Amino acid sequence: MKKIGVIFGGLSVEHEVSVITGMQVMENIDKTKYEVIPIYVNKDGKWLTGNSLMDFKNYKDGNFKDAKEIILSPNHGDNKIYSHPKTVGLFGKKILGEIDIVFPAFHGMNGEDGTVQGIFELMDIPYVGCGVLGSSVGMDKILMKDVYKANELPVVDYTWFYRSKWLKDKDLIIKDIETKLSYPLFVKPANLGSSIGISKAKNREDLIDAIEVAIRYDRKIIIEQAVENLREINCAVLGFDDEVITSLCEEPIGWEEILSFEDKYVKTNEKGGKSSGERRIIPAGIEDNIREEIEELAKKAFITIDGRGISRIDFLLDANNNVYINEINTLPGSIAFYLWEGKGYPFKKLIDELIAIAIKVHEEKKENMYSYEANLFNRTQYGSKVKKV
């Protein structure tokens, strides 16, 4: 039986969302195939494991009686879970277990952005979702749009700047924005999700206020041209390399101008449906030609950043049916299981498929050469004594 380390939480403003995603994965994984090992990164950055971490009510009162602080080694081929050195006495148990595959369920910085994926690459352990590069590009809204624009994928006009430049010369930044774009605008932290820190600016006063909010969350700020009278249409992609398939499309409803954190996680009925009283329509009520265009763009957006596993791509549809890629939400930021049920992938089967893709990616990695015999040490004079002239 494979041992799956589900890792969630993290040093991120999206910490609570990540915990919920982690719980969903642990509850729906096929326990006849996999042994689940919860790994929770708390808000102090400590890594913990223990059975109490699998009970959601414990997160409400912080009651993790059996939780032990742990570390994972970045050593190649080391898949063991170690007790944190400071918690182990002279006769304490240093090795608590091992994991065969990692299922990250982080959201936001320090997890969704490629950082933790780098640890798993060094460990040489299979993990679910995008690699270091795909995760990083998918997380950074500026780099993501730069890559899509370079590949002739449709994105709205945008500009960006560093927080340090704003603090030095606000007037110059405002002038640059107003020269390149026109109101209304969206102001966003470049590396954040769940609509946190995002504001709409209809004039210069709004713009200044919005920037002051955004710079609290990130050092890079992106300003986007707003699409008026828009509809948001989302579509997920599953696969690896160019062998990918798309999910049903969804249309979030009942929101105004910005799909807020509350809209996404508090008000939303996760099962979706066509009732006007629910928070999303699945499948989205769009013409077949628009759906086909969105599906093709979703595949290209996924493949362009070297997507792996699953990602949800969010689109903007204007009144003239022009389609723009708003952003890609890589796993773990978006499992989007509800988009797959109508395609024959209930949550349990979807998790199986994601684990299978993780193993396939890891197996293909073994095809790469990681050494090159150049006999360089014997051919270079580095370190040799050089006679003084």
Q: How far is 380 from 121, CA to CA, in rounded Å?
A: 31
Residues 100-145 pLDDT 10s: 999 999 998 888 899 999 999 999 999 999 999 999 999 999 999 9
The verdict on 221 and 235 lying in the same domain is no
Number of residues that this document lists for the chain: 389
**Burial (Cβ within 10 Å: 0-12, 13-18, ≥19) of residue 388:** exposed
252 and 312 both lie in a single domain: yes
Query: What pLDDT is recorded for position 246?
Result: 97
Where residue 106 sits, what CATH number does that domain have? 3.40.50.20
Task: Write the single-letter amino acid at 240.
Answer: F
Looking at the fold, whether 216 and 243 belong to one and the same domain comes out as no
Considering the domain boundaries, does residue 376 fall inside one? no
Whole-model pTM: value is 0.88
In a domain, 143, yes or no: no
Co-location of 293 and 204 in the same domain: no
Whether the per-residue pLDDT at 382 is higher than 70: the answer is: yes
User: Are 357 and 321 in a shared domain?
Assistant: yes
- pLDDT tens per residue across span 216-253: 999 999 999 999 889 999 999 999 999 999 999 999 98
Catalogue the long-range contacts made by 159-165 (C-beta closer than 8 Å, 24 or more residues apart). 159/222, 159/223, 160/190, 160/220, 160/221, 160/222, 160/223, 161/220, 161/221, 162/219, 162/220, 162/221, 163/215, 163/218, 163/219, 163/220, 163/221, 164/219
Statement to judge: residues 239 and 207 lie in one domain: no
Considering 186, 204, 225, which residue would you say is the last residue of a domain? Answer: 225
Q: Look over the chain and give the mean of its residue pLDDT values, rounded to a whole number.
A: 89
What are the start-end ranges of the H helices in 111-250?
A: 115-123, 132-139, 141-150, 163-168, 170-180, 204-214
pLDDT at 3: 98
Question: Does residue 257 share a domain with residue 219?
Answer: no
The proportion of the chain whose per-residue pLDDT surpasses 70, expressed as a percent, equals 89
81 within some domain: yes
**Shared-domain flag, residues 249 and 314:** yes
- Averaged pLDDT, 179-195: 88
Indicate if 181 and 304 belong to the same structural domain: no
Neighbour count for residue 87 (Cβ, 10 Å): 11
**Sheet holding 220-225: strands in order across?**
158-162, 220-225, 185-189, 199-201
**239 part of a folded domain:** yes
| Whole-number CA gyration radius for the chain | 23
**Residue 182 CB contacts under 8 Å (≥ 6 apart), including other chains:** 225
29, amino acid identity = I
User: How far is the C-alpha of 209 from the C-alpha of 160, rounded, in Å?
Assistant: 16
Please tell me the total count of domains within the chain: 3
Same domain, 291 and 321: yes
CATH number at residue 329: 3.30.470.20
Whether 369 is in a domain gets the answer no
What CATH number has the domain bearing residue 176? 3.30.1490.20
41 & 75 share domain: yes
Residues 114 and 20 in one domain: yes
For residue 324, is it within any domain? yes
The answer to whether residue 368 sits within a structural domain is no
pLDDT at 277: 36
Residues spanned by the domain of 220? 157-225
CB 379 within 8 A of CB 57: no
Give the model confidence (pLDDT) of 35-63 as tens digits: 999 999 999 999 999 999 999 999 988 88
Is residue 177, in this structure, part of any structural domain at all?
yes
CA distance 252 to 284: 9
Average pLDDT over residues 277-285: 82
Beta-carbon contacts of 204 under 8 Å, excluding residues fewer than 6 positions away, are: 174, 178
Look at the block and give the residue holding tokens 């030095």: 168
SS3 at position 320 = coil
